[in-house]
Amino acid sequence: MTAPLPFDPPGSRIEVEEGRAFTPRFDANGLITCIAVDAHDGRVLMLAHMNAESLARTLETGEAWYWSRSRGELWHKGATSGQIQRVVEMRTDCDQDAVLIRVAVGGDGGCCHTGRRACFYRSVALDPASGRAVLTPADP
């Protein structure tokens, strides 16, 4: 990315928590957590990470771009699957170290690489008999 990034470095705690400047706080790996939710029904679709470039591209294009930690590269969500995520709204949390995007999903409306609509398709619970954590399907 050759253009300057569209956000400033973090300021004081008061500026970060109460100011109008978007000053994302990236972690030691240069990433910020992003939660994607369906703009229509509010369902949590997926959790991913963005670096400065993917966050800037998301803001510039209005479509979700992420940083793939497993592949070590930018990832335009839906570029191959057709499940483009059009950003309806982006929010940040109080200390600007996470973002939430409300998206309209293209293609078949799915988001998960398993073919499901959302990545959060299992419930986690403690099995009283064994004392072990177990997974059960949360979606039909």
Binding-site members for Zn(2+) are 94, 112, 119
Would you list which residues are annotated within the binding site for Mg(2+)? 93, 95, 97
Rounded Cα distance between 80 and 93, Å, is 30
Helix (H) / strand (E) element for 98: namely strand 98-105
Would you list which residues are annotated within the binding site? 93-95, 97, 112, 119
Phi-psi category of 70—alpha, beta or left, where left has phi over 0 and alpha has psi -120 to 50?
alpha
Q: Are 138 and 122 in contact (CB under 8 A)?
A: yes
